[in-house]
Chains A and B, each alone.
Chain A
Amino acid sequence: MRRFLLQSFLYSLIFLLFVSCKTYKLTDVKSVSNFEKTVENLYFSSNEDYVYKCQMDIYKNHVSGILIIKKIKETTHRVVLTSDFGNKLIDFEVSENDFKLKYVLPDLDKKIVINFLKNDFQELLRQRYPVNESFENENSKIYLSKIDKKNYYLFFNKENNLLKQIIYTKNNKEKIDFSFDAKKHIFADSLNLQHKDFKINIKLFQITETE
């Protein structure tokens, strides 16, 4: 029995290693010469209010509410999540290198939750990406941006030049996949944030432009 347990433990360890060793690679793309020095994610760059209906799935927990994102300084955003009834769940200011928690509902006040939100929004709200390499495929122009140990693959639609996807990798492993649906470059109608290493998924649908 013990032997069996040990064996299955080893197998799962090997399996885990194998899975986590899977590296992210672009397929079916061709390299093109670098024209752009930097590319930008402008979806949260305007000073106006960005208001989204939000659905979060964190493992088996479903959180619903309203997410508000507002650029308050050149490099800083205010992010507030309220329940559908309007009461605030979490409120923070975030920039590339800084994070200031202004309020969190006692029930949500857990380091792991706050760290996830901090990291996810730091990545989502990152605006400028220096370009290291460029590629293209049938539908997209793809830019690879390397910042420290992090690599970002930004996919722009060839037809309308709108950013449609960012794949964030660390140590060459796929970490988060951001997909955008947009009609203009400063505003995403919906977006989907999916963790590749944890069961965390955030979906946003715009309710900014309602009338």
Chain B
Amino acid sequence: MTRPRRPPRRPSPAPSPPIPSTPAPVAAARRSTVGKRWFWAAGLAALLVALTVLAWRVGVPATRAEAVEFEFPEPNFATLTEPKIRELCSRCHLFPAPDILPREQWSTTIWQMYVEAGYGRTVPWPLAPAELIAWYEQRAPEHLPVSSAVNDAARGAGEASPPTVEFHQRNVLLSDQPHPFTSDIQIANVLRSDALEVVVCDMHSGAILLAGADSLLGATQRGPAATVGHVTHPARVHVVDLDQDGRQDLVVADLGSFMALDHNLGSVVWLRQTDDATFEPIPLATQLGRVADVQTDDIDGDGDLDLLVAEFGWKFTGHVIVFENESTAPGDVRFSRHDIDGLAGAMQIAAGDFDHDGRRDMLVLYSQQHEMLRYYLQRGEFVYEVVDIHRAPHPAWGYTGFQLADLDGDDDLDVLLTNGDMFDNSIVKPYHGIEWLENQGALRFEPQWLTALPGAYRAVAADVDNDGDQDIVACALVENPQFIGDASRSQFDGLIWLEQTHRGQFVRHAIDRDSPQHATLAIADLDRDGWLELLVGAGEFQAISTAAAAVLVEVWRTPGETP
């Protein structure tokens, strides 16, 4: 076989580029015509494409491209272990066991704490909140065993022994303000007349009201009260002759806001009684956090009255403060501030020489995450040794107040305590109630549980049945029923008394069974007939009614008394 002959190659003047697919002269000729054509065609096409793209792109936001560039970091949390949980959840308070809250509440609670910890910035938070929540939810009960069971059990205890005294609601003190909320009641001889007066704080309107006992006990059954002062939102009032001029004054602890907030609107206001029995408002301390309580005492022993202030604050505000009286003459009102402690949640304060060393000390009840009673024992001028005498078992306990009283008649001061705060999560808790700390000397106290009372807000020791020992009257504040799920508020007692039958032994009796709307109470023999009257504050935080004449104070009396 012979191979077909190739056409002879045209000699080229210069070395041609290797392997041209078309003979060079033809390619050159085509480049001259086709190349131009393609050039124009390509140019036109490019122009069209550019025009179209330009038109299409009009109005497309430039930020779209940026989205792709954003870096999404993965959460950086450690693996969950029980020791780590216990360590994390004990940093700011006692470790809360999972069974103190119902399952569904843990999510809200833990996320809230995570936020308050600055998302791990202000308080290191090594665990993923969602995993921590799951750990708690797995171990928490679906519901807390409250509803009526707690009260029924407690009521049952009382039924075994009929009460020796029965109370009937007789009189009411009305407010001319819509939905009042009575935060404090004091009974004292303010105007130096023959009769006692009742001082009432309406936390909602800010009014400080004064009513004669007669108007509460008189034949009219109902009586108005006179407004003697006004602060923003009074929490407590203290009756005292502050300037020692022979006239009783009022010193008011002003929260500064109705709802809980960190702010500097709180204050202490002195309502100074003048010659004509009117009251001149004089701010003694301003730009404080929420002031929950104020008392007066000659804490430095220099002969004048100083102010002891429980500045509750809220989350990052709050102190125990002593304002030292440096006034030198009537009209010269001067107090200098001494910060004693910087914890939030100081809700009540009392003074006394608790360690019997001749110096005045302070006792402060803390709620919030602390839930404890703390002594401030004075060791030098405004120098205090701190001794915690009692701490609740967990941070959801909800202390609401205390009273110093010799409950067991052994000539020392015991502490009567209530825990029933529902403003943290509006849940009725089975561990709300009343306890007392039996003073065993040497700054030691033995806690004794008395009775369960959902929403327990105030307990006062008094000899209710005139048998010579101290009984206890207590009231409860359960928030609006819409916030407590299927548990009807009427299931819970609003006012009870615990009859001391033997030394340190108490039997419960209900007085008001279906309206737990009482944040405070006071007890006195208003008509001086030898039997005590109970004055109970009324009010709701979320009251819907705007009735012009709402109840401010209820008066409960025994049946033997004159109506």
A-B complex is real: no
